Amino acid sequence: MTPEELRACCLGQNDAWEDFPFPANPGLSTFKVKGRIFAFSSLDEAPLRVSLKCEPEIALRLRETCPAVRPGWHLNKRHWNTVTLDGSLPDRVVREMVEDSWDLVVAGLPRWERLRLGGS
Protein backbone atom coordinates (compact mmCIF):
# COMPACT_ATOMS: atom_id res chain seq x y z
CA MET A 1 0.00 0.00 0.00
CA THR A 2 1.37 3.39 -0.97
CA PRO A 3 1.02 6.58 1.09
CA GLU A 4 -1.59 7.84 -1.39
CA GLU A 5 -3.58 4.61 -1.07
CA LEU A 6 -3.41 4.76 2.73
CA ARG A 7 -4.60 8.37 2.73
CA ALA A 8 -7.44 7.49 0.35
CA CYS A 9 -8.42 4.52 2.52
CA CYS A 10 -8.54 6.65 5.67
CA LEU A 11 -10.40 9.51 3.97
CA GLY A 12 -12.79 6.99 2.44
CA GLN A 13 -14.31 6.34 5.85
CA ASN A 14 -17.61 8.12 6.45
CA ASP A 15 -17.10 11.75 7.58
CA ALA A 16 -13.31 11.29 7.89
CA TRP A 17 -10.88 14.17 7.49
CA GLU A 18 -7.15 14.73 7.73
CA ASP A 19 -5.53 17.09 10.20
CA PHE A 20 -2.00 18.09 11.23
CA PRO A 21 -2.49 19.14 14.88
CA PHE A 22 1.02 18.60 16.22
CA PRO A 23 3.37 21.57 15.63
CA ALA A 24 6.35 19.52 16.85
CA ASN A 25 5.63 16.94 14.13
CA PRO A 26 4.06 18.82 11.20
CA GLY A 27 4.29 15.82 8.85
CA LEU A 28 2.17 13.58 11.07
CA SER A 29 -1.22 13.07 9.44
CA THR A 30 -4.06 12.38 11.81
CA PHE A 31 -7.27 11.00 10.40
CA LYS A 32 -10.33 11.88 12.41
CA VAL A 33 -14.06 11.37 12.63
CA LYS A 34 -16.04 13.85 14.71
CA GLY A 35 -12.79 15.26 16.09
CA ARG A 36 -11.52 11.89 17.32
CA ILE A 37 -8.44 10.26 15.84
CA PHE A 38 -8.72 6.79 14.32
CA ALA A 39 -5.38 6.72 12.43
CA PHE A 40 -1.92 8.35 12.59
CA SER A 41 0.73 8.20 9.88
CA SER A 42 3.81 10.09 8.72
CA LEU A 43 3.02 9.49 5.07
CA ASP A 44 6.39 10.70 3.83
CA GLU A 45 8.49 8.36 6.00
CA ALA A 46 9.95 5.03 4.98
CA PRO A 47 8.99 2.47 5.91
CA LEU A 48 5.38 3.59 5.81
CA ARG A 49 3.60 2.93 9.11
CA VAL A 50 0.12 3.61 10.39
CA SER A 51 -1.15 3.51 13.97
CA LEU A 52 -4.70 2.23 14.36
CA LYS A 53 -7.07 1.61 17.21
CA CYS A 54 -7.87 -2.06 17.85
CA GLU A 55 -9.84 -4.25 20.25
CA PRO A 56 -7.32 -5.31 22.95
CA GLU A 57 -7.75 -9.07 22.41
CA ILE A 58 -7.46 -8.73 18.64
CA ALA A 59 -4.46 -6.42 19.03
CA LEU A 60 -2.59 -9.09 21.00
CA ARG A 61 -3.47 -11.79 18.47
CA LEU A 62 -2.30 -9.64 15.55
CA ARG A 63 0.99 -8.86 17.29
CA GLU A 64 1.60 -12.56 17.89
CA THR A 65 0.88 -13.63 14.32
CA CYS A 66 2.01 -10.66 12.18
CA PRO A 67 5.57 -9.32 12.57
CA ALA A 68 4.46 -6.07 10.88
CA VAL A 69 2.04 -5.34 13.75
CA ARG A 70 3.57 -3.90 16.92
CA PRO A 71 2.18 -2.15 20.01
CA GLY A 72 1.22 1.45 19.28
CA TRP A 73 4.27 3.69 19.30
CA HIS A 74 3.80 6.45 21.92
CA LEU A 75 0.16 5.36 22.32
CA ASN A 76 -1.88 3.27 24.73
CA LYS A 77 -0.46 -0.14 23.84
CA ARG A 78 -3.60 -1.91 24.99
CA HIS A 79 -5.76 -0.17 22.38
CA TRP A 80 -3.39 0.86 19.55
CA ASN A 81 -1.22 -1.01 17.06
CA THR A 82 1.43 0.43 14.77
CA VAL A 83 1.43 -1.43 11.47
CA THR A 84 4.42 -1.36 9.12
CA LEU A 85 3.18 -1.41 5.54
CA ASP A 86 6.03 -3.46 4.12
CA GLY A 87 3.91 -5.70 1.88
CA SER A 88 3.73 -8.56 4.37
CA LEU A 89 0.05 -7.79 5.04
CA PRO A 90 -2.34 -7.75 2.08
CA ASP A 91 -3.85 -4.33 1.34
CA ARG A 92 -7.29 -5.83 2.04
CA VAL A 93 -6.21 -6.61 5.62
CA VAL A 94 -4.86 -3.09 6.12
CA ARG A 95 -8.13 -1.61 4.80
CA GLU A 96 -10.07 -3.82 7.24
CA MET A 97 -7.85 -2.63 10.10
CA VAL A 98 -8.53 1.01 9.13
CA GLU A 99 -12.27 0.31 9.00
CA ASP A 100 -12.15 -1.44 12.39
CA SER A 101 -10.31 1.52 13.90
CA TRP A 102 -12.93 3.93 12.52
CA ASP A 103 -15.70 1.65 13.88
CA LEU A 104 -14.15 1.63 17.37
CA VAL A 105 -13.89 5.41 17.46
CA VAL A 106 -17.46 5.84 16.20
CA ALA A 107 -18.69 3.34 18.80
CA GLY A 108 -17.46 5.76 21.48
CA LEU A 109 -19.48 8.68 20.13
CA PRO A 110 -22.85 9.74 21.50
CA ARG A 111 -25.73 7.70 20.07
CA TRP A 112 -27.14 10.54 17.94
CA GLU A 113 -23.75 11.01 16.24
CA ARG A 114 -23.38 7.25 15.65
CA LEU A 115 -26.80 7.15 14.04
CA ARG A 116 -25.96 10.13 11.83
CA LEU A 117 -22.83 8.31 10.64
CA GLY A 118 -24.72 5.10 9.91
CA GLY A 119 -23.60 3.26 13.05
CA SER A 120 -25.71 1.69 15.76
Domains present along the chain, CATH in parentheses: 3-114 (3.90.1150.30)
Q: How far is it, in rounded angstroms, from Cα 102 to Cα 106?
A: 6
Return the pLDDT at 118.
Answer: 73
Identify the segments of the chain with pLDDT beneath 70.
Answer: 119-120
- pTM score: 0.93
Return the pLDDT at 45.
Answer: 93
Return the pLDDT at 84.
Answer: 97
Q: How far is it, in rounded angstroms, from Cα 75 to Cα 39?
A: 11
- The length of the chain is 120
Return the pLDDT at 95.
Answer: 97
Q: How far is it, in rounded angstroms, from Cα 33 to Cα 111?
A: 14
State CA 38 to chain mean position distance.
5
Q: H or E element: which one contains 31?
A: strand 28-33
Q: How far is it, in rounded angstroms, from Cα 57 to Cα 70?
A: 14
Return the pLDDT at 120.
Answer: 56
